Structure 1
Amino acid sequence: MSFVIRAAAKKDLQPLYEMAKLTGGGFTNLPPDRPSLTAKLEKSDAAYARMEGELADELFVLVLENVETGEVRGTSQLFTQVGQSWPFYSYRMTTLTQHSRELERTVRAELLSLTTDLEGASEVGGLFLHPNERAGGLGLLLARSRYLFIAMHRARFGDRILAELRGIIDERGGSPFWDAIGGKFFGMSFQEADYFNAIHGNQFIADLMPKHPVYIAMLEESARKVIGLPHPSGRAAMRMLENEGFHYDGYVDIFDGGPTMVARTDNVSSIAGARQAEVHDDQLDKGEKSLIATGNLRNFRCCYGAREFRGDGIAVDARAADILQIGKGDIVWSIPR
């Protein structure tokens, strides 16, 4: 079977809704709520339609489609500039050092401080792959196709980029981190707060969350030990992000305490390594395994294929050329697989 990454359209609402019901909670960017998903697709449609190249508050939704069946089996999202419609809150882990001469003792306390440091950055998120398709490198295709999209539309994205990883969720579907902090002030379970955030945004955090730093030592051990840890299902995603040049810099999600990974956009490996070339041959037999993309905005398409650079041009295999709907003279962008 062959798969292609393409721009999402309004017709994709039902498969996105069906996948959203499979996420298991804590997945803010893909809520199992039709009106919210409809709003996302409408915002994405407007972003694909806008031809101006400057940075703005936009959302691009991509989907993974089975070429043979036409079924949508995965999705991912790109946010061009977070924190514009409402503040983008994170907790930042910091250390306060204090010294007593009388006791001859130095004490270092770890704190969680509410911050909007990451406001204005771009974000890659909303990646979900149908459980029946989690093989054959499709998760990697979903993840890395976003970086090719950024490289191809670089002016539409910020100089920093982040990725939020889902934190630890217990067997009840709750969050030890939320229960220790947010739950104390909001009278809401993690699932209720997470769902409200997915539908309405996190302005209610700004309205009600105490602004003073939280001393980590005062939290329950169940909460302390999950700060900055990804959900077990997100460990592979964290490794992929690290391979791309992202790093954990002490920022954690205000709901579940999961790590926020950050990078300079131009330093992300798949963005820095993306190469543009004109197709000189679309019948390549063997070549370097690669991700190959073409098209502008709504016409973006990306798939696995083989490439070989020849002078100032590129040769691609026939199957990839067919999936991407390209031929000699067309422009493609590619990175090694």
Structure 2
Amino acid sequence: MSFRIRAASDGDLDHLYEMAKLTGGGFTNLPADRRALRKRLGVSSAAFSRDEETLGDDVFVLMLENVATGEVRGTCQMFSQVGTNHPFYSYRIATLTQQSEELGRTFRAEMLSLTTDLEGSSEVGGLFLHPGERAGGLGMLLARSRYLFIAMHRQRFADRILAELRGIIDEAGGSPFWDGLAGRFFGMNFQDADRFNATHGHQFIADLFPKHPIYVAMLTESARSVIGLPHPSGRAAMRMLESEGFAFEKYIDIFDGGPTMTAHTDRVKSIADSQVATVVAVDDDGGERVLAATGHLAGFRCAFAQMREAGGGVVVDRTAATALGVREGDQVTYIGRA
């Protein structure tokens, strides 16, 4: 069974909506709201159509497609830079040290400070893989296809990149972190706030969020215990990000307390190690298992391939050549699977 990554189109609305309903909440970039998803696809279409090879305010949506059946089984997104239209808020975990000579004691208190430090960064997010396809490396294909896209369109992305991981969500769909902190200032539950953020943006945060630092010790135990932890379903994604060179630098999501991972764009492994070659032949004589991509903007395609060097270029297996739509003389960008 062969899968490929391709650019999303307006015809993917139903596919996105059906996947959004399966996320279980807390997935800001994939809300179960047709209007918001239609708008996201429109913004993505405009990004794929923009001619200037410059950093803009773009959102690119990619889809995972079964080549044989045309079924869409996953999606992911890239944001060229965050915080251009609305502030991009995070909490930064800091430590305040205070000493009392009279008591002979030193106190170290963790604090959460509202910050816009990450504004202007690019972001990879919105990754969702259908539960029936969570095997065979398709999550890796979705995740790393974004980095190959960035490598192939480098001027459209910033020098810093981030990824927000969903935080802990309880069985009722609530967030212990939200209930222990932000929920007290907004008068709405986590699901309502998350939905409002996904459909209306962050301005309400600027209007109502407390601007002064929050002492972690003053939060409920349930809120403290989930700070910086990813949702169980996101642990593998966190390990994958770490293997690419992302690190947790004590930034967390203001809604659910999940970790925000950051990296220098040019040091992300799949970007730094990507190679470009010309296809000199197509056959089924084997080769190294790689992720290969081709095409510009809306013509982008990415798939697993068997590839080997030959004649100053590379030989690609027939299945991958079909999935990618390449033939002799075409250029591919690729990265080893490991």
TM-score class, shorter? over 0.9
Q: Distance in 2 between matches of 1:272 and 1:24?
A: 34
- Please list every run of at least 4 consecutive aligned residues from structure 1 whose deviation after the TM superposition is greater than 6 angstroms: none
Equivalences for 1:46-125 in 2 at 5 Å? 46-125=46-125
Note the alpha carbon deviations across 1:296-334, whole angstroms, 9 max, x for none: 000000000111123531111111111111111000000
Note the alpha carbon deviations across 1:125-184, whole angstroms, 9 max, x for none: 000011111111111100000000000000000000000000001111110100011110
Tell whether 2:171 aligns with 1:171.
Answer: yes
Q: Distance in 1 between matches of 2:254 and 2:78?
A: 20
- Code of the residue aligned with 1:287 in structure 2: it is G
Q: Distance in 2 between matches of 1:313 and 1:284?
A: 16
Tell whether 2:298 aligns with 1:310.
Answer: no
The answer to whether the Cα contact below 8 Å between 2:56 and 2:156 also exists between their aligned partners in 1 is: yes
Counterpart for residue 275 of structure 1 = 275
Q: Distance in 2 between matches of 1:80 and 1:226?
A: 29
The answer to whether the Cα contact below 8 Å between 1:59 and 1:79 also exists between their aligned partners in 2 is: yes
Note the alpha carbon deviations across 1:15-61, whole angstroms, 9 max, x for none: 11011011000000000111100100000000000111010110000
Q: Distance in 2 between matches of 1:34 and 1:129?
A: 19
Counterpart for residue 285 of structure 2 = 285
Q: Distance in 1 between matches of 2:232 and 2:40?
A: 27
Structure 1, 295-304 or 305-314: larger mean CA deviation? 305-314
Q: Distance in 2 between matches of 1:323 and 1:160?
A: 31
Note the alpha carbon deviations across 1:232-254, whole angstroms, 9 max, x for none: 00000000000000000000000
- Code of the residue aligned with 1:108 in structure 2: it is R
How far the C-alpha of 1:203 sits from its partner, in A, is 1.1
Partner SS for 2:283: strand
The answer to whether the Cα contact below 8 Å between 2:280 and 2:311 also exists between their aligned partners in 1 is: no
Partner SS for 1:235: helix
- Code of the residue aligned with 2:241 in structure 1: it is L
Equivalences for 1:186-335 in 2 at 5 Å? 186-310=186-310, 312-335=312-335
Q: Distance in 2 between matches of 1:318 and 1:291?
A: 14
The answer to whether the Cα contact below 8 Å between 1:284 and 1:307 also exists between their aligned partners in 2 is: no
Q: Distance in 2 between matches of 1:284 and 1:172?
A: 50
Q: Distance in 2 between matches of 1:275 and 1:282?
A: 18
Counterpart for residue 182 of structure 1 = 182
Counterpart for residue 32 of structure 2 = 32
Q: Distance in 2 between matches of 1:38 and 1:249?
A: 34
Partner SS for 1:74: strand
Percent of residue pairs bearing the same amino acid type = 68
Counterpart for residue 148 of structure 2 = 148
Note the alpha carbon deviations across 1:82-119, whole angstroms, 9 max, x for none: 00010000000000011112222111110000000000
Across the aligned residues of Structure 1 and Structure 2, the Cα RMSD in angstroms comes to: 0.8
Partner SS for 1:314: strand
How far the C-alpha of 1:284 sits from its partner, in A, is 4.5
Partner SS for 2:230: coil
The answer to whether the Cα contact below 8 Å between 1:284 and 1:315 also exists between their aligned partners in 2 is: no
- Code of the residue aligned with 2:155 in structure 1: it is A
Q: Distance in 2 between matches of 1:323 and 1:259?
A: 35
Structure 1, 238-247 or 94-103: larger mean CA deviation? 94-103
Q: Distance in 1 between matches of 2:132 and 2:2?
A: 15
Tell whether 2:3 aligns with 1:13.
Answer: no
TM-score norm. by structure 2 comes to: 0.99
Gapped regions of structure 2 (runs ≥ 5): none
- Code of the residue aligned with 1:247 in structure 2: it is A
Aligned residues: 337
Q: Distance in 1 between matches of 2:186 and 2:201?
A: 15
Note the alpha carbon deviations across 1:180-208, whole angstroms, 9 max, x for none: 11110100000110010011112101100
TM-score norm. by structure 1 comes to: 0.99
The answer to whether the Cα contact below 8 Å between 2:2 and 2:319 also exists between their aligned partners in 1 is: no
The answer to whether the Cα contact below 8 Å between 1:60 and 1:78 also exists between their aligned partners in 2 is: yes
- Code of the residue aligned with 2:17 in structure 1: it is Y
Q: Distance in 2 between matches of 1:151 and 1:327?
A: 21
The answer to whether the Cα contact below 8 Å between 1:110 and 1:217 also exists between their aligned partners in 2 is: yes
Q: Distance in 2 between matches of 1:190 and 1:183?
A: 7
Structure 1, 314-323 or 208-217: larger mean CA deviation? 314-323
Q: Distance in 2 between matches of 1:171 and 1:52?
A: 46
- Code of the residue aligned with 2:322 in structure 1: it is D
Q: Distance in 1 between matches of 2:43 and 2:195?
A: 20
Partner SS for 1:332: strand
